[in-house]
């Protein structure tokens, strides 16, 4: 006997994990099956064989549609399912990087986007090659990158300048490749 209550043995012929618990899928299927059989019996008693046959056809059709939707196929896929948002599935290409680098180097552009993308690249490379995280292994990453490059990659401090100087960008890319 445990603190949670007496332990119940599984019925004979069934393993311990095969019990039907209320709220489980198996329990729901048993309940729906019992309701379908009861409905068929009532239809046969009230309307005879034609009503029972029609009821069986309706039950089978409903079961097939339900199984198809549960399996993920959908019924009328065009109208019931939302289209995926294009911006979430959009893959960044080289054209985006050219624009981002041009904006990041331009004194009148925005260097923040370039810095964010460089941080993502460094985070992925450091994680893959060295098992380091920019967020949790800041000291080790700072030593690895050096005092000249670390301020540009440090996610918790502001950028040293509004735009990334070209020599710093070259050094960052070279360091990224050497990691």
Q: Tell me the C-alpha to C-alpha distance, in Å, between residue 91 and each of 95, 117, 171.
A: 11, 13, 26
- Give which of 179, 150, 168 is closest to 111, Cα–Cα: 168
Q: Mean pLDDT, to the nearest integer, of 116-143?
A: 83
Rounded Cα gap, residues 75 and 86, in angstroms: 23
Residue 33: other Cβ atoms inside 10 A = 12
Sketch the domain layout of the chain as residue ranges: 17-80, 91-178
Task: Please tell me the least confidently modeled range out of 2-11, 35-44, 85-94, 101-110.
Answer: 2-11
Q: Mean pLDDT, to the nearest integer, of 37-53?
A: 90
Q: Is the per-residue pLDDT at 86 higher than 70?
A: no
Using a pLDDT cut of 70, give the percent of the chain over it.
73
How many residues are recorded in the chain?
179
Give, rounded to a whole angstrom, the gap between the first and last alpha carbons of the chain: 58
Between 65 and 60, the higher pLDDT residue: 60
- Give which of 125, 170, 128 is closest to 149, Cα–Cα: 170
Q: What is the pLDDT of residues 143-153, one digit of tens each?
A: 888 888 888 88
Rounded Cα gap, residues 96 and 100, in angstroms: 6
Residue 104: other Cβ atoms inside 10 A = 24
Model pTM?
0.46
């Amino acid at each position: 006997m445990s603190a949670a209550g007496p332990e119940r043995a599984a019925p004979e012929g069934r393993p311990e994990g095969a019990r039907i618990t209320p709220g489980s899928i198996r329990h729901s299927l048993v309940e729906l099956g019992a309701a379908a059989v009861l409905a068929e019996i009532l239809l046969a008693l009230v309307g005879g064989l034609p009503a029972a046959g029609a009821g069986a056809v309706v039950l089978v059709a409903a079961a097939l549609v339900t199984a198809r939707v549960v399996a993920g196929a959908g019924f009328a896929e065009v109208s019931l399912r939302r289209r995926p948002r294009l911006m979430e599935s959009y893959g960044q290409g080289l054209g985006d990087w050219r624009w981002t680098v041009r904006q990041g180097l331009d004194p009148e552009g925005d260097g923040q986007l370039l810095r964010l993308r460089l941080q993502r690249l460094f985070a992925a490379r450091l994680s893959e090659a060295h098992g380091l995280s920019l967020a949790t292994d800041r000291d080790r990453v700072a030593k690895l990158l050096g005092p000249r490059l670390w301020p540009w990659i440090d996610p918790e401090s502001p950028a040293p300048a509004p735009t990334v100087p070209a020599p710093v960008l070259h050094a960052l890319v070279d360091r990224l490749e050497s990691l």
